[in-house]
């Protein structure tokens, strides 16, 4: 059943559309190129890779002796795929794993490293074959920045200091020399340092007051280095817990440069029965989008609290874990969080990108969970084969938004209703890319109908429009393992320029990115 809603944009009435199968809904809005917004930091497109399931082992690391093509043990196919989406930063080693990780376990000859139990994730044997050198090598191969999460929950400031000196010291101290002995002469940079993870939960079950004190202590012993500028990131709130943000900003806001936020999309909203990654119906599709769109209000609510203490917006809000979290694939270990990825995930990723763009002044980094073989992954692997997921292609389509300047584009979309759930048919964002072109990205969430969108281009004298679309016949279309993708972007022919207006016919359940010049 379609609902009929009236919306008004920039004083112009939207056309009403009466729902019917394969109808075309209408909406309009104005692009305000004369009122550019903030820069969309490229870090908004970052990744999160934890020692969890096959996220690192198999997914990234196969070891130098593997028959799977690799450079120094890191899979070449994964590196190439992440380079192609201009991955700006990768967060590691966790997640919950980070607050039990001891960096000394992961340095030195690999055959002498201790094997530990991964308490958080399936009790798997953690060989520590992938440690600091391997991670830093991985990000260097990708061309990304390292985002290192430091153990605050079960560690102490000395251990933190030693790890940082080991990585970054250029002197003749023992730690720098140990790093050299282990094969790395030049110090690494640590542009992004996280102080704990989910301190309210797996990171130590702390109250915000207690965590603020710990944060002051750890950041107090962290010595800032002008040769290695670092963004100090505090462990932030769970979803809509603005009390956490309030206390940490009040008590330790001066000690940090960013505060994180975690919000996962659970289709049912019920952690015990989250919903399936595939084989879902239109109700589950709609409910999933209703859940994910909460991201906008969640961010706004945290921003309002941060504005009280930091009106200049010095401290960033980093959504460093987000994405879909479904019931694991049948037959797989529940502790390894392996899930399939469909067209729904791709449209949902685009919907979140559009939300993040609207908050670009405060949201200057996000990291989707997780890069390979875990939750909403870019890539799934099976032995030497890999699958680039629909989500991967959403990231690829949105590459031009990295470091672009946001351009206001207000459009109130018509609604789509299924059962008791109503969502907008689409959301949208626009930006001026570093190449000077204007980009418009749409997440078309209506699973049934196309939307016809008319955009008044205002001062923009565009001569041509081109673009890409990604859709599929089925809502749960996936890409095959080790074969050409089915859900991937193709040229889009549904956009036209005429009389200073852009008209776009957005297919149902699709991602569309347009480029105007």
Q: Which residues bind ligand AHR (CB under 6 A)?
A: 50, 94-96, 197-198, 321, 369-370, 375
* Minimum distance, C-beta of residue 301 to ligand AHR, in the bound complex (Å): 20
Cα separation of 469 and 375, whole Å?
24
Q: 321 or 345: whose CB is closer to ligand AHR? A: 321
The residues near 511 (Cβ < 8 Å, ≥ 6 apart) are 346, 347, 350, 393, 394, 397, 441, 442, 443, 444, 469, 470, 471, 489
State the DSSP code for 372.
B
H helix or E strand, kind and range, residue 476: none
* Minimum distance, C-beta of residue 407 to ligand AHR, in the bound complex (Å): 33
* Minimum distance, C-beta of residue 381 to ligand AHR, in the bound complex (Å): 18
Q: Is 480 exposed, middle or buried (0-12, 13-18, 19+ CB in 10 A)?
A: exposed
Cβ-proximal residue to ligand AHR, closest one: 95
Q: 96 or 388: whose CB is closer to ligand AHR? A: 96
Q: 360 or 375: whose CB is closer to ligand AHR? A: 375
Q: Which residues are catalytic?
A: 198, 321
SS3 category, 183: coil
Q: 95 or 467: whose CB is closer to ligand AHR? A: 95
Cα separation of 370 and 357, whole Å?
21
Kindly report the backbone phi and psi dihedral angles of residue 102, in degrees, each rounded to the nearest multiple of 5, phi listed first. -115, 115
Which residues of 86-208 form beta strands (DSSP E)?
89-92, 116-117, 125-126, 145-150, 192-195
Q: 201 or 408: whose CB is closer to ligand AHR? A: 201
Identify any residues that bridge with 310 across adjacent strands, giving them in sequence order.
none
* Minimum distance, C-beta of residue 475 to ligand AHR, in the bound complex (Å): 24
The residues near 170 (Cβ < 8 Å, ≥ 6 apart) are 176, 187, 227
* Minimum distance, C-beta of residue 74 to ligand AHR, in the bound complex (Å): 21
Identify any residues that bridge with 70 across adjacent strands, giving them in sequence order.
75
H helix or E strand, kind and range, residue 263: strand 258-265
Q: Copy the structure tokens of residue 142.
A: 């990708």
* Minimum distance, C-beta of residue 95 to ligand AHR, in the bound complex (Å): 3
Q: 336 or 509: whose CB is closer to ligand AHR? A: 336
* Minimum distance, C-beta of residue 424 to ligand AHR, in the bound complex (Å): 28
SS3 category, 82: helix
Cα separation of 168 and 386, whole Å?
34
Q: Residue 174: how many CB atoms within 10 A of its CB?
A: 12
Q: 231 or 369: whose CB is closer to ligand AHR? A: 369
């Amino acid at each position: 059943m379609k609902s009929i809603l009236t919306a008004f944009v920039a004083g112009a009435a939207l056309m009403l559309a009466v729902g019917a199968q394969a109808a075309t809904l209408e909406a309009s809005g104005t692009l305000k190129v004369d009122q550019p917004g903030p820069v969309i930091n490229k870090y908004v497109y970052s990744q999160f890779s934890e020692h969890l399931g096959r996220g690192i082992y198999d997914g990234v690391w196969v070891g130098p002796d593997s028959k799977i093509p690799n450079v120094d043990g890191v899979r070449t196919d994964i590196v190439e795929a992440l380079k192609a989406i201009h991955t700006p930063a990768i967060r590691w080693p966790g997640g919950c794993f980070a607050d039990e990780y001891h960096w000394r376990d992961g340095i030195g000859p690999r055959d002498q490293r201790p094997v530990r139990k991964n308490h958080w994730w399936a009790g798997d044997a953690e060989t520590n074959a992938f440690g600091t050198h391997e991670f830093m090598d991985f990000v260097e191969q990708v061309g990304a920045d390292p985002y290192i999460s430091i153990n605050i929950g079960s560690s102490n400031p000395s251990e933190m200091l030693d790890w940082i000196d080991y990585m970054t010291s250029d002197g003749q101290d023992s730690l720098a020399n140990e790093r050299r002995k282990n094969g790395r002469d030049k110090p690494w940079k640590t542009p992004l340092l996280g102080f704990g993870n989910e301190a309210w939960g797996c990171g130590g079950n702390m109250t915000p007051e207690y965590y603020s004190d710990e944060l002051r202590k750890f950041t107090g012993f962290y010595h800032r280095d002008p040769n290695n500028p670092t963004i100090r990131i505090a462990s932030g709130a769970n979803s809509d817990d603005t009390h956490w943000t309030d206390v940490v900003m009040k008590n330790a806001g001066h000690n940090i440069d960013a505060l994180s936020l975690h919000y996962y999309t659970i289709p049912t909203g019920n952690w015990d029965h989250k919903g399936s990654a595939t084989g879902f119906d239109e109700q589950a599709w709609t409910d999933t989008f209703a859940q994910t769109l909460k991201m906008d209000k969640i961010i706004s609510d945290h921003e309002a609290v941060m504005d009280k203490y930091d009106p200049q917006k010095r401290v960033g809000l980093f959504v460093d874990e987000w994405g879909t979290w479904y019931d694991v694939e049948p037959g797989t270990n529940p502790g390894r969080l392996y899930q399939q990825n469909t067209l729904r995930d791709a449209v949902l990723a685009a919907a979140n990108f559009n939300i993040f763009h609207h908050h670009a002044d405060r949201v200057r980094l996000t990291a989707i969970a997780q890069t390979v073989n875990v939750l909403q992954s870019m890539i799934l692997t099976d032995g030497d084969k890999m699958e680039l997921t629909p989500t991967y292609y959403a990231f690829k389509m949105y590459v031009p938004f990295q470091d672009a300047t946001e351009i206001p584009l207000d459009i109130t979309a018509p609604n789509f209703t299924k059962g008791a759930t109503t969502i907008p048919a689409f959301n949208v964002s626009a930006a001026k890319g570093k190449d000077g072109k204007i980009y418009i990205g749409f997440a078309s969430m209506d699973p049934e109908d196309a939307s016809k969108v008319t955009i008044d281009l205002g001062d923009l004298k565009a001569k041509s429009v081109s673009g890409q679309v990604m859709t599929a016949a089925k809502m749960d279309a996936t890409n095959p393992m080790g074969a050409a993708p089915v859900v991937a972007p193709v040229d889009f022919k549904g956009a036209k320029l005429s009389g200073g207006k852009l008209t776009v016919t957005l297919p149902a359940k699709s991602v569309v990115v347009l480029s105007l010049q």
